[in-house]
Amino acid sequence: MNVADQVRRPHLRTELAAIERALAQGKPVLGICLGAQLLAHVLGAAVRRNDPPEIGWYDLETTEAGRRDAVTASLGEIAPVFQWHRYTFDLPSGAEHLARTATCENQAFRYGAAAYGFQFHLEMDTAMIERWLGLPAYRDDLEAAGLGHGAEAIRDATAARIEAMQAAADAVFTAFLDQVGRPARRIVLPSR
């Protein structure tokens, strides 16, 4: 699905309204893939097809701003990331461009102090990738994309790259949560 599917998928309007409210309240926002496209759309940027689509593993290149950013700095200059998208977004006006791939210029941005859009899927693990590869609609999507690699190549790349991506994901998500804030005190429950 994509931003233009609001008529067929009315829950997208609810998500757009939630993003608008969070931004208006100055709350941190993290949009991943469609979430990044929704965030960009709320901020007035166009969402459009990406040609070619990106499905599988790609090298993410951070910009100078991305290497300085509190959330994305831990990605380093180049990081392996998992992708599955046919759409992308233009960079919203006033946003900081944080990362790109060779086939998709706008992979990450920050708007204001703590609103982030990531086109890529840092949240993935091997089991989730296998679930996606096992879904008939996703298999059809991969085949129709004509990218020159199939499910087996993605599985091989996953075995080689997932550990590095998960380490990066842990650092990036922890840094984002630090933007949300740390609890004033932690409650320690007694052991039973």
* Domain of 38, in residue numbers: 3-180
- Residue 191 falls within a domain, yes or no? no
What is the per-residue burial (b if ≥16 Cβ within 10 Å, else e) of 56-67? bbbebbbbebbb
What pLDDT is recorded for position 157?
98
- Residue 188 falls within a domain, yes or no? no
- Residue 29 falls within a domain, yes or no? yes
Domain tally, the chain: 1
Q: Which amino acid is at 179?
A: Q
- Residue 189 falls within a domain, yes or no? no
Identify the CATH number of the domain in which residue 164 sits: 3.40.50.880
- Residue 134 falls within a domain, yes or no? yes
165 burial class (0-12, 13-18, 19+ CB within 10 angstroms)? Answer: buried
Q: Which amino acid is at 27?
A: K
- Residue 103 falls within a domain, yes or no? yes
- Residue 158 falls within a domain, yes or no? yes
Beta bridge partners of 23: none
Rounded to two decimals, the pTM is 0.91
- Along the 192 residues of the chain, how does pLDDT read in single tens digits? 888 878 889 898 999 999 999 999 999 999 999 999 999 999 999 999 999 999 999 999 999 999 999 999 999 999 999 999 999 999 999 999 999 999 999 999 999 999 999 999 999 999 999 999 999 999 999 999 999 999 999 999 999 999 999 999 999 999 999 988 765 555 667 776
- Residue 190 falls within a domain, yes or no? no
Strands across the sheet with 96-101, in order? 29-32, 115-118, 104-111, 96-101, 47-62, 78-89
What pLDDT is recorded for position 179?
86
